[in-house]
Structure 1
């Protein structure tokens, strides 16, 4: 490999895939492996054949196998800023420590506050995953198992090992992991409506944000619902997504004519105004229960995160105002 004597030019990288990364898509592997390299550049490298597996061109969806030999062409990107990872001393980062509801050697589960994104991007300096990497510098393989919207609070799983990530994501794909949410919706939800099956189409806006709508061209999507408590003009619901589409619960409730309280994108202005008068200043959607198989112990685990006090207070006011 020739290299200029004067400038530290980027070099070809050779990587041998081990069993820990077997089964992972090449694009997802590179996004993690080439930290700081923009996704657009990673896909361009794949498209141009500048990343090869066993000397062959591959597509982004190629799944890695144990023993695969990767050749990654020299990549020149801007030097990462020294503050690319948030400081572990920042109050917002440190506060995440007290939101960890479960942790062991292979995973941790966080009760994510509303208003914090799960990862940086779209003008955000950092999200939950960057904050946890700053708090746990010794954990080199922290990865999100799944995502929840920035405005949504509740249980979020993070894997510490690639094997645990694969195990947990397999449960999501096979629909053996159960995620249950609490949401406050507009109006009186009909008791007979226990599920919504409506295909969802995702599109990206000019701002880089995602917007989702019900469309025959969308992907099959299903959410199951159960009434928890009825109020005057609102219903507290339990929502269990069978599929895991972007903004699924929010769009399905809107489609049913019962949007979630204080949903800036899919909500109802009049209903939101009524809830704001009662003190609500965030989306009333909370991932309160996770049921899954532990990736190592193979035991069934059920974790819960109660509603934060301000949501409990709102429900108390609604009970007092009930007809």
Structure 2
């Protein structure tokens, strides 16, 4: 969600024009649809776009930074000679083969500015784990091969803890540990969750705690204990708790009914539990938090998001 306060210079102009002026890269058709989908609120009430704005009016816009045409450069939460932790906004790719703007290329430019980049010495950004384009939250990148190998092993040994916050459809328990088997369609780059093990599948564990509930939805704090493609989204959907706004594993009819056009998935926190006795021990016990997320308006309307703000 983006929040703006109407400046006195806009007094008397229609709200549609005010938002267009504030976000010149925002497509007019998309803005019209946002008003139609009740994705814009004026002073806490759904707006139509033809309201006359007054100085001091509060406007809430439930669109992603990408849709608004805002710069998608992630904030650097932490960096040293070995690692970069970045806060990725929704709409930004982690990596791209087509030259599209992405988090890895941005960190590469940062390393070049700091004089750290060297392809010959393998001093390049290594993505430790991916995060879906539509999701927001923390990314870790190693700056050289040794640091990458260390954190990859830490991930495999479950010593790098990730906590997501997500809104789901359904009646979630207060807490649960979910067990299943994971396989993936490599061509489609999607996951499939199974009740029974097969030759190609891997066991997975996902834990969650319910933070709030309302409006036929629940807000969860989810931890993927194992590390598989789209694990949180796919596993929760398999258990009858599809993530709001997820068009791959979610309930498309429910999303359409709620006009949920962004995914309610946020990697909020990572904790290093990597032990001591090695050169990266200085990060042991460190916790890092994201402050960038973009959930659909229906999640706010249900009063769920207040528990994490």
Quickly name the TM-score band, shorter chain normalised. Answer: 0.5 to 0.7
| Residue-by-residue CA offset, 1:83-118 (whole Å, 9 max, x unaligned) | xxxxxxxxx997425x11111222110111122221
Q: Tell me what 2:271 maps to.
A: 291
SS of the aligned residue for 1:179 comes to strand
SS of the aligned residue for 2:73 comes to helix
For this pair of structures, how many residues does the alignment match?
219
Q: Tell me what 2:73 maps to.
A: 96
Question: 1:264 Cα shift?
Answer: 1.3
- Give structure 2 stretches of 5+ with no counterpart: 1-68, 118-122, 275-279, 305-309
Provide the C-alpha distance between the structure 2 equivalents of 1:260 and 1:287, rounded to a whole number of angstroms: 13
Higher relative contact order (CA 8 A, sep 6+): 2
Provide the C-alpha distance between the structure 1 equivalents of 2:287 and 2:87, rounded to a whole number of angstroms: 14
Quick check: 1:164–1:296 contact (8 Å CA) kept in 2? no
Provide the C-alpha distance between the structure 2 equivalents of 1:213 and 1:196, rounded to a whole number of angstroms: 15
> Aligned to 2:295, which of 301, 311, 316?
311
Provide the C-alpha distance between the structure 1 equivalents of 2:100 and 2:238, rounded to a whole number of angstroms: 33
The structure-2 alpha-carbon separation of the partners of 1:232 and 1:314, relative to structure 1 and needing over 3 Å to count, comes to: closer
Provide the C-alpha distance between the structure 1 equivalents of 2:105 and 2:242, rounded to a whole number of angstroms: 31
Provide the C-alpha distance between the structure 1 equivalents of 2:106 and 2:292, rounded to a whole number of angstroms: 23
> Aligned to 2:100, which of 111, 114, 125?
125
The structure-2 alpha-carbon separation of the partners of 1:249 and 1:135, relative to structure 1 and needing over 3 Å to count, comes to: same
Question: 1:286 Cα shift?
Answer: 0.5
- Give structure 1 stretches of 5+ with no counterpart: 1-91
Quick check: 1:177–1:292 contact (8 Å CA) kept in 2? yes
Quick check: 1:187–1:232 contact (8 Å CA) kept in 2? no
User: TM-score of the superposition, structure 2-length normalised?
Assistant: 0.65
Quick check: 1:93–1:131 contact (8 Å CA) kept in 2? no
In the alignment, is residue 281 of structure 1 matched against residue 266 of structure 2?
A: no
Question: 1:268 Cα shift?
Answer: 0.4
Q: Tell me what 1:139 maps to.
A: 116
Question: 1:184 Cα shift?
Answer: 0.4
| Residue-by-residue CA offset, 1:4-48 (whole Å, 9 max, x unaligned) | xxxxxxxxxxxxxxxxxxxxxxxxxxxxxxxxxxxxxxxxxxxxx
The structure-2 alpha-carbon separation of the partners of 1:134 and 1:247, relative to structure 1 and needing over 3 Å to count, comes to: same
Question: 1:302 Cα shift?
Answer: 0.2
SS of the aligned residue for 1:249 comes to helix
Root-mean-square deviation over aligned CA pairs: 2.4
